[in-house]
Amino acid sequence: MSAIALTSASLFGLCGSALVGIGLFCVIAHPELLRRLVGFNILGAGIFLVFGAVSRRGAAMGLGGDPVPQAMVITGVVVAFAATALAIALLRRLASLTGTATLDPTSPEPSETAARSEA
Amino acid sequence: MSLVFDIALVSGLIALALHVVVGRDGKGAIVAFIAFGLLLGLAWVRLAAIDVALTEAAIGGGLTGMLLLKAQAHLASRASRATPAFERNWHVPALFCGAVTLGLGYAVLSFPHPAPSLAREAVAAIDATGLGNPVTAVLLAYRAIDTLLEKIVLILALIGVWSLSTDNAWGGASYLRPAMVPEPLIFLARVLPPFGVLIAVYQVWVGADAPGGTFQAGTILAAMWLLVLLAGLRAAPETRLPTLRMMLAAGPALFILVGLMGVAVAEGFLSYPPAIAKPLIVVIEVALTLAVGGTLALLVSGPPDRAPKP
Amino acid sequence: MAESLTTVALFVLLASAAGLVVVLRSRIAIERLMAVQLLGTGGAATLLLLGTASAQPALTDVALLLVLLSAFSCAAFTLGETASDEPDERP
Amino acid sequence: MTPLYAATPSGLLLVLAVMLPASAVLAMLVLGPRHTRRIALITMALGLGVALATGIELVRSGAALTYIVGNWQPPLGIALRADGLSVMMLAVTAAVIAATGIFARDLFSLDQASCDGRLATSFWMLLMGLWSGLNLVFLSQDLFNLYVALELLTFAAVPLVCLDGRGETVAAALRYLMFALLGSMLYLLGAGLLYGAYGTLDIRLIAGASQHGAAIHIALALMIPGLIAKAALFPLHLWLPPAHAGAPAAASAVLSALVIKAPVVLILRLVVEIAPPEAAAIAGQVLAVMGAASILFCSVMALRQERLKLMIAYSTVAQIGYLFIVFPLAGIGDGSAPWGTIAWTGGALQLTSHALAKAAMFMAAGIVAEAVGHDRIRDLGGFGRVLPLSAATFGLAGLSLMGIPPSGGFIAKCLLLTAAAVGGQLWLALTILAGGLLAGGYVFRVVDRALATPAEPLVLRRPIPLRLEIVPLILAVLAVALGFLPLEPFGLLQIGRPDIAGAP
Amino acid sequence: MISLTDGFTLVFVAAGALLFLAGTLGLLRFPDTLSRLHALSKADSLGLGLIVIGLLPQMPSIAGGIKLVCVWLLAQLSAATASQLIAGIAARRKPDA
């Protein structure tokens, strides 16, 4: 049982590592802001899975996993949701004010370009 | 057999995540993300974390999906351009992220044996709380200050979202109902919420002793409320309403008060007198559930966009 | 018994996940949603099977949540389809 | 087995420091806009009292204050602990927040119509949330609790940036949120790895662990860059200038003076307390290089800015750089106790004096922008004649930034310079000198405009009441006055920081 | 030796699983959206229904059984509504497609 639990925990830990990489790439490199936010959520899911693997490894006393990391994940999931909500509110506001939904340097980035052009 | 199951699950998760990143159209990526959330719920079950599975299924599969779909619809109606392509030098971040994954994988595999765990301590101390679910004990007793401050985080996020309204609409209501509401949606919004509320009540109730609890229940309540708003059965409340604000603040405020009470009658801030620990925790959970439900639903609704009625 | 139920659970999951191929391939947004719907129901079935196999009744609760929210996601999806009717934010 | 933490009698003060502002947020939410300002001012008075009492208690007992939340000992529970550094940060935070509060009250009351409106009400609630988060960052001993504290900061700070609702500030806020979230995510990931390796997230328990595997190095390699992104060290500073320049003046003051210091303090904790010595040495060198790059690059950028607030924002990134060159100078990683050294004191002084000076400078810039209607440096000729107090504030705060005697900044930079010279780190000494010269350049550019005689005199868009200009002036005078302070009070920094290995 | 209840469970559960496969195949192979939708809703209601019936005898308590039936009822409700919504969207899409 414990060998399988350990293997399964490591498997999900590795899955979490992969998701962190994928999410991070999406956040850093994706040109679309909304997609970057989805990337954030994938990154978060990966991080939480690493916590999950840690928790599963710590199974003891008849519990299937260590409850402390599980509780942290629950807190983290809610915080990540709030972050997504705030980001989306900002994004929608940006879109309705400027008509663009990107921050990438190729499109005119308001404040800095304004400062530069005055220079 | 169960390892095969896990491998299938993990491959599904990674495939969906990749699709989200490289997929051409935005809406498809979001739908894939919702599916990702569902699979993630299953993954948490496999990790023997039912409480997390409930939270993930509710938030990842439900509310976040709605939030993203709503934003996507809004943005698509404004900026109808083709998806911009990746920058030419995408290899550099890809290499960097690959390195992060490798390092992380190495760290995960190098964890010590036997694994350190607080399960023993958590179980040993649980009698003082009167609870049966160790995760709830962590959330509301051992690490109660995390949970309490996380409620403040939610409220700050909500204030942040509200502050993005215009000066006119400040204090007003946000508007969710689409111009045309399909008939089945109205039907769903009439029939589903009673079930949802029942399940939420059940979740809070069992949360003390079995998987479930305030976040899960709050999320379900939020989803049901949003469904009603979406179908236009009720209008969203004006954000300046004292009753609404009272509901949002009551949970955390009660939490703080009980915490301070602990200074006087128990062993300090956020410690409960053992004799009444469980009832106190359940009362806090009920109040928090309402606050969480309200806050999450309002976070999804977004900033007010209608001026308050005089 | 537990072993066979787990096998069936795997089978159901794989069957619904095969629907994910549609998610990954289809050009029509609604069909993707259908696949998600299938995955929601399939996921619930998987959970029920696993819950019985491992004698964890709490998994039924997760299944309950999954079916409840799959309807919700579907409702949210209609938002996008009537996107052009959404009221503008006032300047 | 003796418990790791023993609660001290007045430890409840630490809970109050965090919970008072948090309760204020709830009270404001319920009681509505009309009472918001009053609640804020009352909370500020109480919070100042708490910070003061904590300081007195620390000096009186000569030992760190400790509180165990809910009486659950770590590793299961969470401990709050105030040592010398924490108490100094609590005090600076309380002082700057109180000053900002008074300034904001006067600024918002210029417009009677909007003083209960969206901008002002949100500002007060977010300010209180910010305060709670800052205090928690300085007090908490638990890495996950610190994550919650960082998120409190993020969620309070980001909306502050775009309170005025213009497109460019919303873009700046969004960019800030992206960086901040990425930072917290990396931090959280590191925390998860540490839990996997040690089964606890308590800083002292991890520090006391006897052996270290690969996990701690990878964890630190994730957490420290994450925090650097939040602290806006070069080259991860891109978000800061537009965000801090676009925020309302009162918000910029808090953001620049306090918010970015929180991750710096946390990096310090990680490097000094839990990093294995050889890793700490490497991290210290890398951080110092980045700090030096920040000083040079962003000072030059500040010199080239055309807008006053952007210039001040770039100066913030440059001044943050000084805090990072403390790491190798304090001998971190070579076994000597870092908190006894000259560089440590210099770093603490730099932190304090920059907080005061930068808050003053942003407020003064806000007054100028409010009075004149813009903040283009070129067109500000002669503003010293119409707003003499604000010009004086700017000059005095500038003294501290440049490190010209007599000022807090001078003593700080002097100590750092000495440490660099003694330690044989010539390149750091040169960087400090160059940074001072460059700072002189950008400050004098503005002072020069203030004293210029323009062809046509500057017209004020609106009169500025005297009381509005007083608060920043006091802050600037305090920043200078730090230079006259004997250095003994900074001995307080050593309280509660015994060698980790032999911790009682 | 398999007991009668276990045999009953296995038969029904296996039948339900096959229906899920059928649903997916339908989704993959049927030519147009509406017939795919048909296949999907069949799989949803029947497949889950059969699995629920199969699992009922395995439930340790009445409450567990009730919850199981609730899952099926909710799935019915949401699948029915969802397919109507999807059909509605598909129908509205048709003219401009």
User: What would the pLDDT profile of B163-201 be if each residue is shown by its tens digit?
Assistant: 999 888 888 888 877 777 788 888 888 988 998 999 999
Is the CB of residue A92 less than 8 Å from the CB of residue B166? no
* Res E31 pLDDT > 90: no
- Say if residue B236 is in the same domain as residue B126: yes
Per-residue model confidence (pLDDT) at position D277:
84
Domain enclosing residue B84, as ranges: 1-116
The phi, psi pair for D66, rounded to 5°, reads -135, 145
Please report the residues numbered 42 through 81 in chain E whose beta carbons come closer than 8 angstroms to any beta carbon of chain B. 70, 74, 77-78, 81
Query: Rounded CA gap, D135 and D150, in Å?
Result: 11
Per-residue model confidence (pLDDT) at position C19:
76
- Say if residue B156 is in the same domain as residue B255: yes
- Say if residue B4 is in the same domain as residue B92: yes
Number of structural domains found in chain B? 2
Name the stretches of chain C with pLDDT < 50.
83-91
Is the CB of residue C48 less than 8 Å from the CB of residue C59? yes
User: What would the pLDDT profile of D422-476 be if each residue is shown by its tens digit?
Assistant: 888 888 899 999 999 999 999 999 888 888 887 777 778 888 888 889 999 999 9
Q: Could you say which DSSP state residue B173 is in?
A: B
Which residues are within 8 A (CB) of D95 and not within 5 positions of it... i.e. 6 or more apart? D48, D51, D356, D478
Query: Rounded CA gap, D409 and D361, in Å?
Result: 14
The phi, psi pair for D68, rounded to 5°, reads -110, 110
- Say if residue B176 is in the same domain as residue B190: yes
User: Coil, strand or helix: which one is D140?
Assistant: strand
CA trace torsion B287, B289, B292, B296 (10° rounding): -140
Higher pLDDT, D138 or D234: D138
User: What would the pLDDT profile of D164-199 be if each residue is shown by its tens digit?
Assistant: 888 889 999 999 999 999 999 999 999 999 999 999
Helices then strands, each counted (H, E), chain A: 4, 0
Number of structural domains found in chain E? 1
Question: Which residue in chain A is spatially nearest to B214 when comparing CA positions?
Answer: A74
Is the CB of residue D399 less than 8 Å from the CB of residue D480? yes
Per-residue model confidence (pLDDT) at position A112:
40
CA trace torsion B262, B264, B268, B273 (10° rounding): -50
Model-level pTM greater than 0.90? yes
Nearest to D148 among B116, B153, B246 (CB): B153
- Residue range E19-39: mean pLDDT, rounded: 79
- Say if residue B197 is in the same domain as residue B299: yes
Nearest to C4 among E10, E47, E77 (CB): E10
Is the CB of residue B184 less than 8 Å from the CB of residue E88? yes
How far does the CA of residue B98 sit from the closest CA of chain A (Å)? Answer: 6
- Say if residue B236 is in the same domain as residue B287: yes
- Say if residue B249 is in the same domain as residue B204: yes
Is the CB of residue D190 less than 8 Å from the CB of residue B107? no
Higher pLDDT, E60 or A80: A80
CA distances from B159 to A19, B171, B303, D163 (A): 31, 11, 9, 11
Chain A positions contacting chain C at CB under 8 Å are 92-93, 96
Q: Name chain A contacts of B302, Cβ cutoff 8 Å.
A: 85, 88-89, 92
- Say if residue B213 is in the same domain as residue B174: yes
* Res D224 pLDDT > 50: yes
Name subunits touching B (3+ CB pairs < 8 A).
A, C, D, E
Tokens of D133: 């988060």
How large is the angle between the packed helices B91-109 and A33-57, nearest 10 degrees?
Answer: 10
Domain enclosing residue E36, as ranges: 4-93
Query: Rounded CA gap, B277 and B204, in Å?
Result: 16
Query: Rounded CA gap, D154 and A82, in Å?
Result: 11
Which of B91, B116, B141 is the last residue in one of the domains? B116
| Mean pLDDT of each 10-residue bin along chain B, 310 residues long | 87 92 84 90 92 91 88 75 66 90 92 87 88 92 94 96 89 80 85 91 88 90 92 87 92 94 89 90 93 94 86
Residue of E84, E89, E92 best to disrupt the B interface, most CBs of B under 10 A: E84
Which residues are within 8 A (CB) of E93 and not within 5 positions of it... i.e. 6 or more apart? C30
- Put simply, whether B28 touches E (Cβ < 8 Å) is no
Nearest to E85 among B182, B192, B195 (CB): B182
How far does the CA of residue D129 sit from the closest CA of chain B (Å)? Answer: 7
The phi, psi pair for B210, rounded to 5°, reads -135, 170
Query: Rounded CA gap, B223 and D233, in Å?
Result: 41
User: Coil, strand or helix: which one is D73?
Assistant: coil
Which of B72, B100, B116 is the last residue in one of the domains? B116
DSSP code string of B4-51: HHHHHHHHHHHHHHHHHHH-SSHHHHHHHHHHHHHHHHHHHHHTT-HH
Contact C39/B73, CB-based, under 8 Å?
no
ipTM of the complex: 0.94
Which residues are within 8 A (CB) of D454 and not within 5 positions of it... i.e. 6 or more apart? D381, D382
Contact D78/B153, CB-based, under 8 Å?
no
Q: Name chain B contacts of E78, Cβ cutoff 8 Å.
A: 188, 192
* Residue B158: closest CA among D182, A89, D28: A89
Report the b/e string of D325-354 with b at 16+ CB within 10 A.
bbbbbbbbbeeebbbebbbbbbbbbbbbbb
Query: Rounded CA gap, A37 and A20, in Å?
Result: 14
The phi, psi pair for D142, rounded to 5°, reads -115, 130
- Say if residue B177 is in the same domain as residue B101: no
Opening angle at CA E40, ends E39 and E45, nearest 5: 105
- Say if residue B141 is in the same domain as residue B98: no
Contact D76/B115, CB-based, under 8 Å?
no
- Say if residue B136 is in the same domain as residue B65: no
- Say if residue B85 is in the same domain as residue B189: no
Query: Rounded CA gap, D354 and D348, in Å?
Result: 10
Q: How many CA atoms lie within 13 A of E13 on its CB side?
A: 30
Which residues are within 8 A (CB) of D300 and not within 5 positions of it... i.e. 6 or more apart? D438
User: What would the pLDDT profile of D232-247 be if each residue is shown by its tens digit?
Assistant: 998 899 999 999 998 9
How far does the CA of residue A27 sit from the closest CA of chain B (Å)? Answer: 9
Question: Which residue in chain C is spatially nearest to A97 when comparing CA positions?
Answer: C91
Q: Name chain D contacts of B102, Cβ cutoff 8 Å.
A: none
